Amino acid sequence: MNKKTVRDIDVKGKRVLVRCDFNVPYDENRVITDNRRIVAALPTIKYLIENNAKIILCSHLGRPKGEVKPEFSLDIVAKELSRLLGKEVVLAKDVVGEDAKAKAAALKQGDVMLLENVRFEPGEEKNDENLSKEFASLAEVYVNDAFGTAHRAHSSTTGVASYLPAVSGFLIEKELNFMGSALENPERPFMAILGGRKVSDKIGVIESLLEKVDVLMIGGAMAYTFFRAMGYTVGNSICEEDKLDLAKELMEKAKAKGVKFMLPIDTKVGKEFSKDTESKVVKFSEIPDGWEGFDIGPETIELYSKELKNAKTVIWNGPVGLFEFDQFAVGTNSIAKILADLDAVTIVGGGDSAAAIEKAGLAEKFTHISTGGGASLEFLEGKKLPGIEALQDK
């Protein structure tokens, strides 16, 4: 990674503004149900504490759309951070207002405070110049450690970096090192598994990966668009009729590049979208009318397993079935188990695939699980992420 990190800058005694991704899920009682994103930020925060910085954390939570909404307050995050760090993390009553400024000015070395939800400010998502300057006025150094929002050009992710020395935290460093080296210099055979609903969501990723991988395996609802492009009927399965030519083009491109392009050979179909619907396994070419495909079938699991056993690097983005319903989670869970046992570099590109692995209790067995859904997708596409571009080069 050619970007400076917190190691490359003197933070002692300095006020350091750290953009984190604390956009965590919580229930109706405002109890956090998954604290992974908070835990992922701890190495950077602890490093700054140990190096006597004065630490000002900031993040968004949910989509308050520029309005102050108590249900999106970061009070629950401040509480969880205090527990994890074993020291009080003070929450400011505002983002860049009087309370935030007073609390920032009063910080002593090793103290940690948290600004209120940055998206309470209407200028945040517009990357407003004045707001960026307000953020910068709170600190002397800026650290971005929010990979999950690195694909967004907002005031707290890119704007502020124009006014302060800007470096990355350890989480962004880790993301770029693992995903970057997998894409730039993978140990081969290099394989990718892509799932999810739509081909259109993954066009850029498929095109980018076809330049790099040896094998590309398709699962999830987007497989049915490829079946349709091959001339088969797909019943009530999700299918993008306007993307059939594109699907054909992608298959032809794979062939021309010598990439093994693998599609499911059987599929588990259901009568309707419900967790206990009637279901059965059929060949991919024989999906009956009135039925919808919800998972890869046992023969596909076996076929993909056999192929994956040879892999040395695997990137997985998107579940291969409707994993939220147990009877259609078999494919996704099977892929997760196969990858967990591989002697290979295994990288999971955030979002639903990460949730599926957590659910299966296998997270510890993967080389790297990305914290950024949209950001990791854009990174896989080869796009430049504004939150990374804004940081100082080494």
Give the H/E segment covering residue 317: strand 313-317
Q: Tell me whether domains 6-170 and 178-380 share a fold.
A: yes
pLDDT bucket at 350, cuts 50 / 70 / 90:
low
Alpha-carbon distance of 194 to 183, in angstroms, equals 15
User: 0.75 cut: is pTM over it?
Assistant: yes
Which 8-state DSSP code applies to residue 373?
A: H
Active-site residue (options: 198, 253, 312, 359): 198
Q: Where do the domains of the chain lie?
A: 6-170, 178-380
Active-site residue (options: 37, 54, 119, 197): 37
Active-site residue (options: 62, 97, 110, 374): 374
Nearest to 377 by CA among 213, 175, 226: 175
CATH architecture of 6-170: 3-Layer(aba) Sandwich (3.40)
Task: Decide yes or no: CATH 3.30.70.1450 for domain 178-380.
Answer: no
Q: Is 30 a catalytic residue?
A: no
pLDDT for residue 44:
98
Q: Under DSSP, is residue 56 helix (H, G, I), strand (E, B) or coil?
A: strand
Q: Is 198 a catalytic residue?
A: yes
pLDDT tens-digit readout, 61-89: 999 999 999 999 999 999 999 999 999 99
pLDDT tens-digit readout, 109-163: 999 999 999 999 999 999 999 999 999 999 999 999 999 899 999 999 999 999 9
Q: Is 169 a catalytic residue?
A: no
Alpha-carbon distance of 380 to 173, in angstroms, equals 16
Extended beta strands in the chain, E state: 15-19, 54-58, 89-91, 112-114, 141-144, 166-168, 190-194, 215-218, 260-262, 266-270, 279-283, 292-296, 313-317, 345-348, 368-369
Q: Is 37 a catalytic residue?
A: yes
Active-site residue (options: 169, 293, 351, 373): 351
pLDDT tens-digit readout, 232-276: 999 999 999 999 999 999 999 999 999 999 999 999 999 999 999
